[in-house]
């Protein structure tokens, strides 16, 4: 190889080496995942340990578990979001052992939750979430009115002023149950199960006599529900929670 050829070869080698060390456009412009972090506090700004924070995708269906994380002793949380899920999210928390319901659900929050948007150019966001208000608490037992056998029926909660804003599921009510409802709000309650007459709050099988439940934040009301057998009744109970 001549002197000129060797020089040209060295120049090409240097250029190729320099090009190989440059980050690709995709590596710079397309992050592999997004990040939502922040803290959860009580209304007095004390950190909340053990709250669960959800990042609920808005305006699109989800065929997988909703991204979520629990808070540590300082109230801090971190949620990792796959890049393919980028978009708008409702970020809200729950701590049901202290009667704070899942405010990422439209039924509880009535749409009053923190929203953020992740994009390739803005893949991270920090939020501060304050728990509250507490939900009202319905608790008690559910049994067969004749045999006293424990039952796990379907429950339907519906805002009296917004019939299309509801929450329902089968087997959600356990034989010994505790259920949270939005506080200071009129909520219609229906309990149903195949082979039993439908039960309406405050304790009737006559739909015309049903009344809404209304509880203050943290207020507890004990109701022992006795379902009357009726072999001809088909409840049509849903198998999944609605109105998230």
Q: What are the strands, taking DSSP E only, across 64-111?
A: 68-70, 76-82, 88-94
Q: Encoding tokens for residue 244? A: 């998230």
The DSSP secondary-structure symbol of 145 reads: T
Q: Cα separation of 143 and 42, whole Å?
A: 37
Q: Among all chains, which residue has been given the structure tokens 């080698």? A: 13
Q: Please report the pLDDT score of residue 60 as a whole number.
A: 75
Going residue by residue through the chain (244 aa), what tens digit of pLDDT does each one get?
Answer: 554 444 444 443 443 344 344 444 444 556 789 999 999 999 999 999 999 999 999 887 666 789 999 999 999 999 999 999 999 999 999 999 999 999 988 899 988 889 999 999 999 999 999 998 999 999 999 999 999 999 999 999 999 999 899 998 777 788 999 999 999 999 999 999 999 999 999 999 999 999 999 999 999 999 999 999 998 888 766 543 434 4
Q: Please report the pLDDT score of residue 13 as a whole number.
A: 44
Q: Please report the pLDDT score of residue 211 as a whole number.
A: 97
pTM of the model: 0.79
Q: Please report the pLDDT score of residue 220 as a whole number.
A: 97
Could you tell me the sign of the dihedral formed by the alpha carbons of 151, 152, 154, 159, in that order?
positive
DSSP 160-175: TTEEEEEEEEES-S-S
Q: Please report the pLDDT score of residue 111 as a whole number.
A: 83
Q: Encoding tokens for residue 15? A: 């250029």
Q: Please report the pLDDT score of residue 19 as a whole number.
A: 38
- Count CB atoms within 10 A of the CB of residue 92: 25
The secondary element (H helix, E strand) that includes residue 109 is: helix 106-109
Q: Please report the pLDDT score of residue 235 as a whole number.
A: 74
- Count CB atoms within 10 A of the CB of residue 33: 14
């Amino acid at each position: 190889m001549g002197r000129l050829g060797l020089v040209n070869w060295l120049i090409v080698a240097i250029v190729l080496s320099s090009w190989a060390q440059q980050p690709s456009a995709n590596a710079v412009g397309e992050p592999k995942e997004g990040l939502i972090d922040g803290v959860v506090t009580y209304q007095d700004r004390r950190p909340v340990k053990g709250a669960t924070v959800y990042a609920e995708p808005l305006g699109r269906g989800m065929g997988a578990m909703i991204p979520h994380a629990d808070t540590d002793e300082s109230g801090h949380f971190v949620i990792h979001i796959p890049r393919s899920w980028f978009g708008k999210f409702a970020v809200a928390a729950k701590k049901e052992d202290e009667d704070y319901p899942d405010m990422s659900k439209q039924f509880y929050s009535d749409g009053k939750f923190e929203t953020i948007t992740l994009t390739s150019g803005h893949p991270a966001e920090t939020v501060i979430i304050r728990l509250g208000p507490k939900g009202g608490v319905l608790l008690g037992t559910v049994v067969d009115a004749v045999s006293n056998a424990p039952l796990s029926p379907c429950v339907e909660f519906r805002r009296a002023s917004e019939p299309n804003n509801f929450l329902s599921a089968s087997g959600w009510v356990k034989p010994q149950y505790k259920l949270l409802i939005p506080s200071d709000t009129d909520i219609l309650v229906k309990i149903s199960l195949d082979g039993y007459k439908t039960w309406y709050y405050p304790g009737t099988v006559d739909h015309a006599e049903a009344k809404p439940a209304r509880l203050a934040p943290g207020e507890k009301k004990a109701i022992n529900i006795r379902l009357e057998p009726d072999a001809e009744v088909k409840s049509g109970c849903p198998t999944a929670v609605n109105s998230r």
